[in-house]
Amino acid sequence: MADADWLRERIRDVPDFPSPGILFRDLTPLLGDAEAFRFAVNAIADAFEGHRIDKVVGIEARGFILAAPVAYRLDAGFVPVRKSGKLPWRSESEEYALEYGADRLELHADAVAAGEKVLIVDDVIATGGTARATARLVERLGAKVVGLGFLVELTFLAGREKLDGYDVMSLVAYP
């Protein structure tokens, strides 16, 4: 039976990547397993099936891998949120804090419309800063964030606290 533990067995823990002290959750074994990939995509899509989602927003870069098939499943459009300077057209931009310093995320100004229902998808929620900045971008364009879906949640980093009031779901949680 496919469940959280079954998915977890397909996630590789890589110590000290990309920098010392970080335990990186490498999803490539899970993504490379046809059954696990399909299960993960379907589980995120199923959780928001009844909401008539208009757009699924994926966060660069690993978020794209899950967000695109979730959008397909939900009969919704796919929208990329990208790092600074990558999008070709007029964009909204939002700064967010990193462990050291800050970074910037961008969304095309016409990518979501006022009143549209949006689902945000990323591979991992850690501190929640990336997801919160993405939610702000979507809301600045007048759309509604119906929920946020993640494959992995690093619970000890308390990302959910930054997303208070939102419908947040994850498939595999690490305490």
CA distance 30 to 18: 19
The reply to whether 73 belongs to the active site is no
Nearer to ligand AMP, 55 or 132 (CB): 132
Q: Look at residues 148, 82, 64, 145 and name the one whose alpha carbon lies nearest to residue 112.
A: 145
Q: Which residues contact 130 (CB under 8 A, 6 or more apart)?
A: 59, 96, 105, 122
- Given candidates 54, 116, 122, 153, which one binds ligand AMP under the rule CB under 6 A? 122
The catalytically annotated residue of 35, 49, 95, 99 is 99
Pair 117, 49: CB distance under 8 Å: no
Radius of gyration of the chain (CA): 15
Binding of residue 129 to ligand AMP (CB under 6 A): yes
Packing angle between helix 62-73 and helix 34-47, nearest 10 degrees? 60
Choose which of 125, 145, 146, 163 interacts with ligand AMP (CB under 6 A).
125
Is residue 123 part of the contact set for ligand AMP (CB under 6 A)?
yes
Least distance (Å) between residue 160 CB and ligand AMP: 10
The catalytically annotated residue of 62, 136, 140, 160 is: 62
Residue for token pair 């509604």? 144
Are 14 and 24 spatial neighbours (Cβ–Cβ below 8 Å)?
Answer: yes
Classified as helix, coil or strand, 167 is coil
- Does residue 95 carry a catalytic annotation? no
Minimum CB distance to ligand AMP, residue 153 (Å) = 9
Q: Is residue 106 a contact residue for ligand AMP (CB under 6 A)?
A: no
Q: Work out the burial of residue 68: count CB atoms within 10 Å of its CB; fewer than 13 is exposed, 13-18 middle, 19 or more buried.
A: middle
- Minimum gap (Å) between residue 55 Cβ and ligand AMP: 19
Q: Please report whether residue 51 would count as binding ligand AMP according to CB under 6 A.
A: no
Site stretch for ligand AMP (CB under 6 A), options 16-24, 81-89, 138-146, 163-171: 16-24
Sites of contact with ligand AMP (CB under 6 A):
22-25, 59, 62, 122-131, 154, 159
Report, as residue numbers or ranges, the catalytic residues.
62, 99
